Amino acid sequence: MSTELSAGLRDALEAWCAHLAGVKGAAPNTLRAYRADVAAFLSFQAGHHGGPLGISALKEIGLRDMRAWLAHERARGVGARSRSRALSSVRGFYRWLAERDAFDATAVLATRGPKHRRKLPRPLAVNAAREVLDTLALQSSQPWIGARDVAVSTLMYGCGLRVSEALGLRGADHPLGDTLRIRGKGGKERELPVLPAARAAVASYVALCPFTLEPDAALFRGARGGALGARQVARVLESVRMQLGLPASATPHALRHSFASHLLAAGGDLRAIQELLGHSSLSTTQAYTAVDATRLMEVYDSAHPRA
């Protein structure tokens, strides 16, 4: 962090991070990103104002100062999405600090972020998702590895798990029951229904796995017995994608996207899907409504081509 920041301001930043970790349950990677965003903002403001920056000076930051910072970030080549994320971090810090020290932070909180197009999720078609699961079993000459890859991917597609959540399962989680309790991003817990196909896929893998699956150790193992890594999952899906001629967007996370998109297309409730995915904000889940509308227009255009 810049030496131009007062000890009080450095302490305030660390206290905010401790608040996020202890009260909000923010993950270590999230905390690192927030801390870096706010520290960079504070360092810029110290230079912008030509001297050491303390909490009292921070309370005087106005709209012009915010615009100067955003313009500086843009000139550095920072993309709109990253600038929006940094602004969100700064707002969060200011909101906490304003509540703690009782001052008006309207100028910072009301600053508009740069406009950017949100990337829409790119799910697989239903038949493509089935082909992926069928083809995964054929990627290894060792049946237990094929069964493992099918089990991990079935959990992502059938339960909406992130790859990190699937790989975070322990030996004690087997056999899977009717529901599965998952601790996701930020330590947030959610309970998911487990489809019979997912239970069967995991049971098939466990029956073939040559390693002892201790209760506290990773459920899914690599070829040498260590915990299976996300990169290994990505590699095998990349191989399947190339064999099936699927787009580059057919990644492990696309299986989770497909879970949500296919549920929505089948009439699933958006709020329920939000809970299943573990999204903190409904706006994140609403991206799938745009995907569904886009697909609908593609079907319409193919059925009713313009002259």
Q: What pLDDT sits at residue 66? A: 92
User: How far from 181 is each of 171, 189, 195, 227, CA to CA, in Å?
Assistant: 14, 7, 14, 20
Looking at residue 297, its pLDDT comes to 42
Question: Between 101 and 273, where is the model more confident?
Answer: 101
Q: Is the same domain home to 182 and 261?
A: yes
**Would you say residue 168 lies in a domain?**
yes
Would you say the pTM of this structure is higher than 0.75?
no
Mean pLDDT, range 55-77, rounded to an integer: 90
Tokens of 234: 């990505």
Same domain, 49 and 186: no
Cα 85–Cα 165–Cα 32 angle in degrees, nearest 5: 35
209 by DSSP, 3-state: which?
coil
Q: What residue numbers bound the domain in which 85 lies? A: 7-109
C-alpha to C-alpha distances, 254 to 97, 99, 132, 238, nearest whole angstrom: 38, 40, 11, 12
Helix/strand/coil for 267: coil
Q: What is the pLDDT of residues 16-50, one digit of tens each?
A: 999 888 877 777 888 889 999 999 999 999 888 88
Given a cut of 70, is residue 282 above it in pLDDT? no
For residue 191, the model assigns a pLDDT of 81
At 69 the pLDDT is 93
Active-site positions read 162, 185, 253, 256, 279, 288
> Which one of 61, 84, 109 terminates a domain?
109
Quote the tokens at residue 185: 């991003």
Show which of 109, 140, 166 is a domain's final residue: 109
Question: What is the rounded average pLDDT of the residues 293-297?
Answer: 44
Please report which residue ranges of 115-229 form alpha helices under DSSP H: 126-136, 143-159, 163-167, 196-208
Kindly report, residue by residue over 171-196, the tens digit of the pLDDT: 999 999 988 888 876 667 788 888 89
| Residue 230 in domain | yes
